[in-house]
Amino acid sequence: MAGCAQYPALPRAGHDARGTEEMSSDQMAQTDFNRTLTIAMRDNLSSLMSLMTKLYKRNPREWRKSGKPSLAAAAEAVRLSIDARTPPAGLEGLRDIEILAVSLDPAYTGDRVAAFIYGMADTIVTAHDGKTRFYAFDLLDGERVYNAARNVEAAAWLLGSRRDAQGAPLLLANEWTDTQVNLSFEREFGAIIGRLDLIANLLGENSRRLGINYAQNLFLFSFLPVR
């Protein structure tokens, strides 16, 4: 994974970076569509940071596997590993859906939250050609983004259904009790899936319009004046 683009300004766990973005010089090279892609990616990564914090809070044994002194320190280590595109310890050489699959394997003994969040982040970014910011010359494959959305759906379902040998959930997520219903995980997953599906649809429409515009230009072609 060396040499791949890093994640710029990946939001820290517990900090919601969603919303507007300050002006920067590189935005001059972005179309409105590029801005939409960039903001959707930023919001998806922010959602993953939120999911990571929630999962660590519900499964403190996982962050303790990291050897870090606190949940915050463990979360920051995961954020930095995503930023550098460096897989969690023991998973070197694996990427995207491979790491996601390992994170949901009952036999895996490492920090399951770190592997799960890293695997999802790498899956989403890989589907976007390894980029988190997009410019006028970037061409993305809508089918890959669509597939990423389906992978997130599958991961969300497996998160709630996978059990260990004793029948206990691999990770605690959504909570239903007589006194409390916590569906915050489901909402975050739904938001990520919704953004990915929207981008996949927009990419398909963008490609279609490019083809139509090209055909129209050929049909309506007129010579340019030289005097």
In a domain, 187, yes or no: yes
Residue 172 to residue 167: CA distance in whole angstroms: 12
Residue 86 to residue 2: CA distance in whole angstroms: 8
Q: Tokens in use for 120?
A: 């999802």
Predicted model pTM: 0.80
In a domain, 102, yes or no: yes
Q: What local confidence, expressed as pLDDT, does residue 173 receive?
A: 87
Q: What local confidence, expressed as pLDDT, does residue 120 receive?
A: 95
In a domain, 14, yes or no: no
In contact, 199 and 145? CB cutoff 8 Å? yes
Q: What local confidence, expressed as pLDDT, does residue 55 receive?
A: 96
In a domain, 13, yes or no: no
Q: How high is the mean pLDDT in each 10-residue block of the chain (227 residues)?
A: 44 53 60 88 95 95 96 95 93 94 95 97 95 87 92 92 92 70 82 95 65 44 39
Q: Residue 97: name the closest of 44, 55, 153 by CA.
A: 153
Total structural domains within the chain: 1
In a domain, 179, yes or no: yes
Range of 97's domain?
27-219
In a domain, 168, yes or no: yes
